[in-house]
Chain A
Amino acid sequence: DAMVIQNPRYQVTQFGKPVTLSCSQTLNHNVMYWYQQKSSQAPKLLFHYYDKDFNNEADTPDNFQSRRPNTSFCFLDIRSPGLGDAAMYLCATSRGGRGLGTYGYTFGSGTRLTVV
């Protein structure tokens, strides 16, 4: 089945040690999103790719970076994780372009990041 896959499901990293979360999709969607979700809160958009165009949210810390080497893969890099970065990180995809916002968004199962 076409889907969005996030690896790993659970990630433990040390304070200040760079970590990379990955997302892959078989839907051939041209838009990919990264969300941060802290406990009992709504998902917060960090950034998204529209094809190869990177769109950063204004309040996303510089500590968070992303790469999209091809349509299928997208990575979230946290350069120096702090205790406040512990959260669930969700990847989502959608079809982009005018008139295509109706399709909704397909989410992966998320990666729960713990910082020790």
Chain B
Amino acid sequence: AQSVTQLGSHVSVSEGALVLLRCNYSSSVPPYLFWYVQYPNQGLQLLLKYTSAATLVKGINGFEAEFKKSETSFHLTKPSAHMSDAAEYFCAVSSASGGSYIPTFGRGTSLIVHP
């Protein structure tokens, strides 16, 4: 079984401030982990993914995430927020189940960026 917990349904930051979106996972087997971004009335766009290579993963738009096995965490960060980063962010975990990799999504965190 696998699950994802995203702490905080809303995160509010000022433009230029650090962005930190939290994600904790549980998985009975080594997981693959993903962060997706969703803009209003759009599908989900992949930001970055962890696939058991480097624990610090760099993605698009200046985002990165660090896989910490001891903490079962995969938090998303960005050093300096832009207004264009305002969106819904979803963390997802995927692990092998009978040959298929079915992703499970967290409830999402809405990032609000203030001028």
User: Which residues of A come within 8 Å of B, CB atoms?
Assistant: 4, 6, 9, 31, 40-43, 45, 48, 50, 55, 88, 90, 92, 94, 96-98, 100-102, 104-110, 112
Instruction: Please judge, given known A-B contacts A48-B100, A110-B42, whether A40 and B108 are in contact too, CB under 8 Å.
Output: yes
At the interface with chain A, which of B16-24, B43-51, B64-72, B77-85? B43-51
Is A112 a contact of B44 with CB atoms below 8 Å?
no
> A50 to nearest B CB, angstroms?
6
Instruction: Please judge, given known A-B contacts A101-B32, A105-B46, whether A43 and B101 are in contact too, CB under 8 Å.
Output: no
- What is the CA–CA distance of A50 and B110 in the complex, to the nearest angstrom? 32
Q: Mark B84-115, 1 if CB is under 8 A from A, else 0.
A: 00000010001110011111011110100000
On chain A, the residues within 8 Å of B44 by CB distance are 43, 90, 92, 105, 107
Instruction: Please judge, given known A-B contacts A90-B44, A110-B43, whether A42 and B96 are in contact too, CB under 8 Å.
Output: no
Is A104 a contact of B108 with CB atoms below 8 Å?
no
Is A50 a contact of B100 with CB atoms below 8 Å?
yes
Task: Jot down 25 A-B pairs with beta carbons below 8 A, ordered by A.
Answer: A4-B43, A6-B43, A31-B100, A40-B110, A42-B105, A43-B90, A48-B100, A50-B100, A88-B41, A90-B43, A94-B101, A96-B99, A96-B100, A96-B101, A98-B99, A101-B96, A102-B49, A102-B52, A104-B49, A105-B44, A105-B103, A107-B43, A107-B44, A109-B41, A112-B41
Confirm or deny: B63 has a beta carbon within 8 angstroms of a beta carbon on chain A. Answer: no
On chain A, the residues within 8 Å of B74 by CB distance are none
